[in-house]
Amino acid sequence: MIGHMIRWIKFLFIVLIGFVVFIFLFSLFLPSVGHTERAGVIQAPVDTVMSRLTNVYQLARWMQGWATDSADAGLQIQFTPTQPDGQACYSWSYLGRPGSGGKFCITHIVAHHQVDYQMRMKGLPPITGHFVVAPALDGEHTWIKWTMDLQLGWWPWWKYYGVMLDRLVGPGMEHALGSLKANCEQADTMGYQIQRIPVPFHAILAWADTISLKQESRYMALHRGYAVLQQYLHQHQLQQQQAVIAQFIEGSDSTLAVHVGLPLQAPTEVKEDKHIHLLIMPEGGFVLVARYNGPALNIVGAYHALESYIHRQHLQSPAGPWEQYFQDKLPNNDSSQVQANVYWPVF
């Protein structure tokens, strides 16, 4: 019996060794450089696009989230002085995630045509690539191609990673190019800088009520809903992920539908009632975002800018816009100073 088990163990060991050898030999036929690329057309002249590619402050802004196809509230960006060799660089990291992040450097610029770069990400081999631009015949559009090459070496696991590179980072590159497109085409957005990003949260604890503006202001309802949600979080030991959001939908006869939401740390079950429910945002969705800073009464300007941009770009929206107030600082009246992002879902 023991001899029979030993033979089986030897057989399994030989099979395992053979499998490892096969994986290694097969990897020798795989390329030592992982390659992916994305291209698009931007309704802006070449000079406008190149200014967003050669200035690291501009570049860092529209490239946020490319690596994961997601927005991250913990993202921190630092700009480093120009290197002795003339390279302009920036680095990024994530709060609460030690060992994450990386560094991006512009290595060479060909005027009006190409920008070469090098990128280092912790835990990954070196990444090189370039942006290539060319003017369209009408002079008002620019064609752009973004390439990315991962130097894999000869290690089998990196070679298999390279095979999956396009699927892993391709969607993130697409949304970053979408953000670049929005950034370059902001001339008709009433002075607002508009970006296209993935939906920044997944699960939202929402409170909803319809009020009469003759009896209660939108700001009173906003504070009331926020207080109810905070109490619910405390009672059920839930964690808030991002700042409070709100949506206002005007109805007939001076009524207003008020929706207040708190993005949650992770999807969870919620005991719903007449006013409280859980919203799960669809995967792969995108929003346009405009940042507003000023009196609460004038935030409607950001709405108009987003609506104008959607119409100009022939986009479609599955839902209305909402506001997100920085650090949960809610307005009390029309003259309250507000810092907020205004989001508008698009596809």
Helices of type H across 191-285: 218-236
Task: Tell me the backbone φ, ψ of residue 192, rounded to 5 degrees.
Answer: -85, 140
Does the reported pTM lie above 0.85?
Answer: no
* Structural domains counted in the chain: 2
For residue 48, what are the β-bridge partners?
A: none
How far is it, in rounded angstroms, from Cα 165 to Cα 148? Answer: 9
Q: Are 171 and 286 in a shared domain?
A: no
Q: Are 125 and 217 in a shared domain?
A: no
Q: Are 62 and 162 in a shared domain?
A: yes
The pLDDT tens digits along the chain (347 residues) read: 666 677 777 767 676 776 666 556 655 565 666 788 899 999 888 888 998 899 888 888 888 756 544 445 567 788 876 666 667 888 888 776 776 778 899 999 998 899 999 988 877 788 899 999 999 887 778 999 999 888 776 666 666 666 677 777 888 888 888 888 888 876 556 678 788 888 888 889 999 999 998 888 899 999 999 999 999 998 888 889 899 999 999 887 789 999 999 999 866 677 777 789 888 887 778 899 999 999 998 999 899 889 888 877 778 888 889 999 998 899 999 899 999 999 999 87
| Residue that has been written with the tokens 């993202």 in this structure | 75
Q: Are 63 and 165 in a shared domain?
A: yes
Q: Are 159 and 290 in a shared domain?
A: no
User: Considering the domain boundaries, does residue 336 fall inside one?
Assistant: yes
Q: What is the separation of C-alpha 37 from the centre of its chain, rounded to a whole number of angstroms?
A: 19
Residues 6+ apart with CB under 8 A from 179: 62, 63, 64, 195, 196, 197
Q: Are 208 and 168 in a shared domain?
A: no
Q: Are 208 and 166 in a shared domain?
A: no
User: Considering the domain boundaries, does residue 21 fall inside one?
Assistant: no
Residues 6+ apart with CB under 8 A from 3: none
Task: Note down the domain range covering 80.
Answer: 28-181
Q: Are 123 and 216 in a shared domain?
A: no
Helices of type H across 28-67: 46-54, 56-62
User: Considering the domain boundaries, does residue 5 fall inside one?
Assistant: no
